[in-house]
Amino acid sequence: MSTSSILSYRGKNAPASPIRKLEPLARAAAERGTKIYHLNIGQPDIPTPASFLQKARLEPGNVLSYSPSVGLYPYRKALVDYYTGIGMPVAERDILVTTGGSEALLFVLMALCDPGDEVITPEPYYPNYGTFSMMAGATLRTLPTRIEDGFRLPPPADFAAAITPRTRAILLCNPSNPTGTLYSRDALTAVVALAKQHGLMLICDEVYRDFVYAGTPLSILSIPGAADVAIIIDSLSKRFSACGARLGCIISQRHELIDAVTRFAMARLSPPTLGQLGGLGALEDPGPFVSSMIAEFRRRRDVLMEELAKLPGVLAPEAQGAFYLMTRLPVDSSERFCAWLLNDFSHQGETVMLAPGPGFYQTPGSGQDEVRIAYVLGEAPLRRAVQLLGHALQAYPGRK
Ligand SMILES: Cc1ncc(COP(=O)(O)O)c(C=O)c1O
């Protein structure tokens, strides 16, 4: 049998998600009877709205059919009404419904980039940006941001310095996963101007748009002139606590792009039909679901900040949006610490699971003493989870 690899460059080199890669250790810990508080993954625990669940079903005797490749027409129409209602000027032909924001990201990168083209994004970044770029044959060029100044967006000069003849787009996540940073209107206005000046597209991942705890949600489309360059990635996963519905969309007024991603969408036939029915139900009858969920996450954010402030040596910038926080811990290696939490530590039979920082960076050596905390638990378990982190930091042999 040949010993040479059957895999492509992509197959060999796509990184494992830092959010999921410790799962085997978690499983072993759970099998030993340890209770694990999961702060590693962005899976909210809020029940999906009844209006969603009631409509995401068919009576026996019906056919669970494909939908149109661009999405069910009533669902797209409901999306237009939804965006119009929140002040985002979007028409039906600006939207392609996708299988989650994940497929939206992959389609957009594939439509914009030839192999070897480049996309600029601030780091730390959502790790799947790296994987999707690799799948599209594109190279992610990262711009460092600093925990000391709340991971704020780098100045336009830094973006300009990273632009090469191969640069096709700038990719922002606002509010940011993993940092919890909310970019200011001024900072976004400057990036829009830069993108226009250099003929680049601006991909704005707004899947956490509503999750804002200081100020009001801000779409890139509200920046004057942005519509020429903006491509929005959106998702119902977090907004309606419906991650398993696999429902997202691409929004752009550049119809050349919508045309290209529509041809990709035809090849994959259809986004999930039941998910779209559910999404239609939620959009038609949203009730106070989103506002009460945001109020709940604001309380959790407050609890997280309050508990982290009690831990000596921990640096936690203010969490402004999404439900994540990149946090600096007094440890030699966050990779080792996160594995140790699952393998070697427990307090009264309990431990906590976190996502190690380096997987959110491309620059070697970055994020060594950082972890991403996803505050997706209710107040009491969240408090306990951060207290467990405190006990663990006292016991960890590699404490700095
Ligand atoms: C920043 C960001 N973008 C996109 C996605 C993709 O979400 P989905 O495919 O569930 O819509 C996620 C999911 O966690 C995310 O955090």
Whole-Å CA distances, 114 to 118, 119, 196: 9, 11, 20
CA of residue 104 to ligand 1 center, whole Å = 10
Nearest to 195 by CA among 121, 294, 276, 285: 121
What topology is assigned to 9-47+289-395 in CATH?
Answer: Aspartate Aminotransferase, domain 1 (3.90.1150)
Stated as kind and residue range, the H or E segment containing 251 is: strand 248-252
Of ligand 1's listed atoms, the one at least distance from the Cα of 176 is 1
Token pair for 331: 């440890």
Rounded distance, CA 393 to CA 400, Å? Answer: 10
CA of residue 180 to ligand 1 center, whole Å = 14
Q: The pTM is what?
A: 0.96
* Predicted confidence pLDDT, tens digits, the chain (400 residues): 667 899 999 999 888 887 888 999 999 999 999 999 999 988 888 999 999 999 999 999 999 999 999 999 999 999 999 999 999 989 999 999 999 999 999 999 999 999 999 999 999 999 999 999 999 999 999 999 999 999 999 999 999 999 999 999 999 999 999 999 999 999 999 999 999 999 999 999 999 999 999 888 999 999 999 999 999 999 999 999 999 999 999 999 999 999 999 999 999 999 999 999 999 999 999 989 999 999 999 999 999 999 999 999 999 999 999 999 999 999 999 999 999 999 999 999 999 999 999 999 999 999 999 999 999 999 999 999 999 999 999 999 999 8
Of ligand 1's listed atoms, the one at least distance from the Cα of 126 is 1
Domain boundaries, the chain: 9-47+289-395, 50-284
C-beta of residue 394 within 8 angstroms of C-beta of residue 388 = no
Rounded distance, CA 355 to CA 376, Å? Answer: 13
CA 194 vs. chain centroid, Å, equals 24
Q: What CATH number was assigned to the domain covering residues 50-284?
A: 3.40.640.10
Of ligand 1's listed atoms, the one at least distance from the Cα of 102 is 9
